Structure 1
Amino acid sequence: MEINMITKFYDLGNRIHLIDVFDLGLSNRTGTYVIIEDDITLVETGSSKSVPHILNGLKELDIDPRNVKNIIVTHIHLDHSGGAGLLLQDCPNATIFVHPKGARHLIDPSRLKLGAKAVYGDDFNRFFEPILPVPEEKIIIKEDGETLQIGKNRALTFFDTPGHSDHHFCILDSVSNGIFTGDTLGMNCEVVLADLGIKLILPLTSPNQFKPDGTLHSLERIKKLNVDRIYFGHFGVASDVEEVFKQIKSWLPLYVEIGEKAVQLNKDHTWIADQMFDRIKGELTRLGVPDSHQIYDYLQLELPISAMGIADYFSKKSDKTHLRV
């Protein structure tokens, strides 16, 4: 595949690099991590639209894609795994590592595609196609607590972390004592707000398996690991881990509160998204962020999807209540 584009990547230390894969056409939104060890390992693939960026990043790092040994996806949402099948064409010696509940959807992505089309509508093809199935023989399932040795002195440990989705795990790196959290600990907006030095971490509550209690349980599990840094799916690394925990535990109850109010007022997900936006904008205005800042482009993309997840959670909760009655 011939690639002609500007590559944007970051050296994060500990032989970990982050390639910006320009998810939904935005820089600093989603990335692929490259761990340079005896067994070259990638964490996240992004969508198929991200694959050229990954390949160009590997070229800049002087890595032959045929030497990539491991490709790990934290979960199977298309902005994290949708490019796996396509990427394998250029990384023929790689194996895909996935959560036990996600493997069948990589092999047959038809249900994934249907779910994503319900969320993204007419933009689906532009953002995600093509989505190629991953051959079953190329998939390895990792159970909770299992490890993967990628170098003589480097191991990755997998932790089941539901909440954002049921098919989500996080991966602890023994060298950096950092953890790749996918969407479990939300969206790190610090890179987007770097010009103002503001830290903002927001929950990611997309449909259709989001559960607030599960998210908080997974957060507490990660907290007990005493990690030194967090590698986000969206986007970059944070070393102030306590601030990450603090912000998620602050914003998530607010999202739930807005969802509860929507139920009371019989409002839909668009109302929830507007309420989320207003509350976050209020905080950013207080911190001195101008209305013209690019952070609002990211929020306008992300919040409607998170609002759908909140609405979906309360819809299912209501259905279960009616069944009990």
Structure 2
Amino acid sequence: MAVPVPGTALPVTSVESGIHVIDTAFQRDQFDAAYLVVEDGRGAFIDCGTSLAVPHMLAALEQAGLATTDVDWLVLTHVHLDHAGGAGLLIQQLPNARLVVHPRGAPHMIAPGRLVAGATEVYGEEEMQRSYGSVLAVPEQRVVVAADGHVVPLAGRELLCIDTPGHARHHLCVWDARSRSWFTGDTFGLSYRELDSERGPMIIPTSSPVQFEPEELRHSIRRMMAYSPQAMYLTHYGKVTDVQRLAADLDELIVAMAALARGCADRADRHRCMVAALTELYLERAHAHGCPLDDEAVVRVLATDIELNAQGLACWLDRDRR
């Protein structure tokens, strides 16, 4: 059941196995999730949204009956700002917590200047301030570098971190054997509740700038599926099941997106070509899925992702040609 956070209209939803889904309020409702895992009175956040989401993270703690001193970990799937932009500010509020991050991501959390500059180049200064707020450094002594196979202990509950490139080279996913679920960041794609149909969730990959690598992403998904997961907890958005079907859909779409990008590669209007081709591809999927929205509404839900996916595909094409 969705329970309002005091002072907001945003839900923090408790689900089975001590996992709490937190809407970070980034961009729109049910767009960007972070998670709180609670075990025997101890807590671990997985991703945290932007600095503007910190009040929601603290409200989730209060709702779960935990104090800030009860949090041992903040685990980042990767350092894109919609997942990690608030880490520096949040860690200031959690005196006993340490930050767990991929080896390639750790330097950007300790000294976030290059990360902010790169995001500003993509989004612009005005959008950075409006959507992301301040990005603060995390003290180096509070950072734990999680190589492939690193285990985060949470009151006897082990959270396994594995290296999952494809969306980004600094991406890890977190396996929770207790719930037989993955916290997937962006590796297992995007699935918005507005697009759900009688068949369940619809899913698409995310190729946003600047490190999309289709074959690596397909491999990462296969590696995750080898654990026979019962559910995936996505950043965008929430818990999904029927993971075998969704994994097959993702694999097919990754191949299709790479092919359409190559088809647009030599066009003078390459970006426009890819936006149009992605829009057509996703609308075909929505129709086949029985999505309840009309085409205009589907495109409105996916507009930001279509634009970012086109940009990311362009980065991949340019890198692949070098």
SS of 1:101's equivalent in the other structure is coil
Partners of 2:121 and 2:84 lie apart in 1 by 18
Q: 1:237-248 alignment to 2 at 5 Å?
A: 237-248=239-250
Match of 2:120 in 1: 117
Percent of paired sites with the same residue: 30
Match of 2:268 in 1: 266
How far residue 278 of structure 1 moved from its aligned partner, in angstroms, is 2.2
Describe the superposition over 1:209-245 as per-residue Cα deviations: whole angstroms up to 9, x where unpaired: 1100110111111111212211112111122110121
Match of 1:181 in 2: 184
Structure 1 position 56 matched with structure 2 position 59: yes
Partners of 1:42 and 1:10 lie apart in 2 by 14
Match of 1:136 in 2: 140
Contact persistence 1:119–1:305 (CA under 8 A): no
How far residue 293 of structure 1 moved from its aligned partner, in angstroms, is 7.1
Q: 1:38-187 alignment to 2 at 5 Å?
A: 38=40, 39-121=42-124, 122-152=126-156, 154-187=157-190
Match of 1:236 in 2: 238
SS of 2:160's equivalent in the other structure is strand
Structure 1 position 315 matched with structure 2 position 308: no
How far residue 249 of structure 1 moved from its aligned partner, in angstroms, is 0.9
From 202, 205, 218, the counterpart of 1:203: 205
Partners of 2:314 and 2:292 lie apart in 1 by 29
How far residue 171 of structure 1 moved from its aligned partner, in angstroms, is 0.8
| Higher alpha-carbon deviation: 271-280 or 135-144 | 271-280
Which amino acid in the other structure matches residue 251 of structure 1?
L
How far residue 195 of structure 1 moved from its aligned partner, in angstroms, is 6.6
Match of 2:278 in 1: 276
CA 1:288 to 1:298, structure 2 compared with 1: closer, same or farther past 3 Å? closer
Partners of 1:155 and 1:303 lie apart in 2 by 36
Partners of 2:71 and 2:291 lie apart in 1 by 44
Match of 1:223 in 2: 225
Partners of 1:30 and 1:58 lie apart in 2 by 18
How far residue 197 of structure 1 moved from its aligned partner, in angstroms, is 5.4
Q: TM-score, normalised by structure 2?
A: 0.92
From 20, 24, 28, the counterpart of 2:23: 20
Match of 2:302 in 1: 299
Structure 1 position 256 matched with structure 2 position 255: no
CA 1:180 to 1:290, structure 2 compared with 1: closer, same or farther past 3 Å? closer
- Corresponding pairs, count: 315
Describe the superposition over 1:106-162 as per-residue Cα deviations: whole angstroms up to 9, x where unpaired: 01111111111122124121111210011101100111112122123x111111111
Query: Mind listing any 5+ residue stretches in structure 2 that lack a counterpart?
Result: 1-5
How far residue 180 of structure 1 moved from its aligned partner, in angstroms, is 0.8
Contact persistence 1:192–1:294 (CA under 8 A): no
Which amino acid in the other structure matches residue 278 of structure 2?
M
CA 1:79 to 1:256, structure 2 compared with 1: closer, same or farther past 3 Å? same
Partners of 2:30 and 2:249 lie apart in 1 by 20
CA 1:179 to 1:283, structure 2 compared with 1: closer, same or farther past 3 Å? closer
How far residue 196 of structure 1 moved from its aligned partner, in angstroms, is 5.6
Moved over 6 A (4+): none
SS of 1:140's equivalent in the other structure is strand
Partners of 1:124 and 1:178 lie apart in 2 by 32
SS of 2:187's equivalent in the other structure is strand
SS of 2:79's equivalent in the other structure is coil
Partners of 2:292 and 2:37 lie apart in 1 by 35
Q: TM-score, normalised by structure 1?
A: 0.91
